[in-house]
Structure 1
Amino acid sequence: MSTVISVRIKKEIKEELEKQGIDVDQEVRKFLEELYLKVKAKEYVNKWIEDLKDVKPSVEGFSVGSVREDRESH
């Protein structure tokens, strides 16, 4: 599903960009899609931060002990 938006810019800007071989429609679409991805990524990061704020850190030395335990079990 898609929707249509319109953007008004100066005619000379569009003409110059097209003269340089730039597809204005494609560039605007690409910019908005990349902006969407950045917004969604920021949303996910903020959710993860919120989810992890109440998680207590591991006790000191947990990683070392866990790796050692794993190695010895093989």
Structure 2
Amino acid sequence: MSTVISVRINEKIKEELEKHGINISQEVKKFLEELYIKVKAKEYVNKWIEELKDIKPSEEGFSTKSIREDRESH
């Protein structure tokens, strides 16, 4: 589903951009889609930070010990 928005810009700016072959509608759409992606990414990162804030870090040497145990079990 999509919706229509309208934006007013200075007529000289519009003419200059069109003179250089820039599709204003396409550029605005692309900008808003990229902005949406950035906003959603920030939202997810903040959610992950919130979920991980109460998890304590592994003890020092945990990964080395875990790998050694895994190797020795084969």
Judge same fold: TM > 0.5, yes or no. yes
Runs (5+) with no aligned partner, structure 1: none
Number of equivalenced pairs: 74
Q: 1:2 is matched with which residue?
A: 2
- Aligned-residue CA RMSD (Å): 0.8
Q: What percentage of residue pairs aligned between the two structures are identical?
A: 80
* TM-score using structure 2 length: 0.95
1:71 is aligned to 71
Q: TM-score, normalised by structure 1?
A: 0.95
Alpha-carbon distance between aligned partners in 1 of 2:38 and 2:30, rounded to the nearest angstrom: 12
1:30 aligns with 2:30: yes
CA distance in structure 1 between the partners assigned to 2:50 and 2:63 by the alignment: 24
The alpha-carbon deviation at position 48 of structure 1 amounts to 0.1
1:55 is aligned with what amino acid? I
The runs of 5 or more residues in structure 2 that have no matched partner are: none
Tell me the secondary structure at the aligned position of residue 6 of structure 2.
coil
Deviating runs (4+, > 6 A) in structure 1? none
Per-residue deviation, 1:68: 1.1
Residue of structure 2 in register with 1:46 after alignment: 46
Q: In the alignment, which residue of structure 2 is the partner of 1:16?
A: 16
- Give 2:58's aligned residue: 58
Greater shift, 52-61 or 64-73, is seen at: 64-73
